[in-house]
Structure formats: structure tokens, C-alpha cells
Amino acid sequence: MVKYHSLFNFFLSPWSDRYMKIYHNLSRKDEQFMQLCASAALIFSTCGKRKYAAVLVDEFGHIVGMGYNGGPKNYLHCEEGGCPRLMQNSPSGSNYDDCIAVHAEANALLHSDYSARAKKIYVNGPPCFSCAKLIVNSTIDSVYYMHDESYENWDQVKTFLLSSSIMVVEVGRGSI
């Protein structure tokens, strides 16, 4: 079943059916990439607030990049006391100016072969606005993410992605 936020209906109605899909019937590969994100986040992420991983996939369904969230090199990891957001107990999706972590999406783009021209990104949580800007400026045309009720600014980020012709697919946690 496809649902739309009322703001999308007003501003994006001609594009909504094409770009916004929620609880989409996922292919086996889509499910596997989301499972990989969830597993990799638990193994590699060093963020004390949220464990995220991102997988970049090319047009042939091959993984061309991967990243997870954590502190920058030569700096204390979030879990080791390096994160001001963790110390301030900032709500999810807010106050990212104090976030020292390099986000999963950014790390995936940084540590991939750009010439591979990733078409899809899978993330086990919604991208923040800074990561959405990176996604829009890349070769990615589809974002698959798991919904997070506590993420405060997701509607604005989703509107930005949709208005930039990026397909957004919300994956229910029960789908994987």
C-alpha cells in the first residue's frame, strides 16, 4: 500500500506515484542489501546513538561501496566519549552540527569507486539532510531506508530528495 504525506500531495502530486513508495514489495536482492546494512551497522558502527550502515549498488545489482557511521580517523569514537551529541542526549534527527561522526552514507560515497556509478543506496535508517545533499549530487537515483519514528526532520529531508527526482522507498522493519 502506498501512503503519501499531505505536503507531498500538495507540492509533488505529479511525481509522487513515480518517486515515493512506502512498504514497497522488495525484491530478494533489496531485502538482502537491507539485511546487510542492519548487520554491518551492528558490527562496525561506533556511534553511541544510532548504528547505521549504507550499501551502494550499481545498475547491475553489484555492491560498489559500503560505509558505516563513526568518528573520523585519529579521533575518539562516539562510544568512547568523542561525541558531544551523545553527551547532550540530543534527540534523533536534530542538532547535527555537533555530530562528530562521519555518517554511513558519506563513508559509503567516500570509500567507493565513483566511476562505478552507484544507482541505489540502502541505509538501515533515514538519511540526514547533509547526507541527502551528497546523495542528490551523486549518481544515486533511489534511496531505500528503514523508517525511524524518532527522526524529527525526516519530512523535510524526504521532500528534498523527492523534489530532486530521487526515488524514496521506505522499508518496513518487518520486511527484512
User: How many distinct helices (H) and strands (E) make up the chain?
Assistant: 6, 6
CA distance 72 to 91: 21
Residues in the chain: 176
Which phi-psi region, left, alpha or beta, contains residue 76 (left: φ > 0; alpha: ψ -120 to 50)?
A: beta
CB 88 within 8 A of CB 98: yes
Cell of 22: 512506502
CA distance 99 to 78: 9
CB 100 within 8 A of CB 119: no
E strand spans, the chain: 20-22, 53-57, 63-68, 120-123, 142-146, 167-171
79 is catalytic: no
Catalytic-labelled residue, pool 79, 80, 105, 170: 105
Catalytically active residues, by annotation: 105
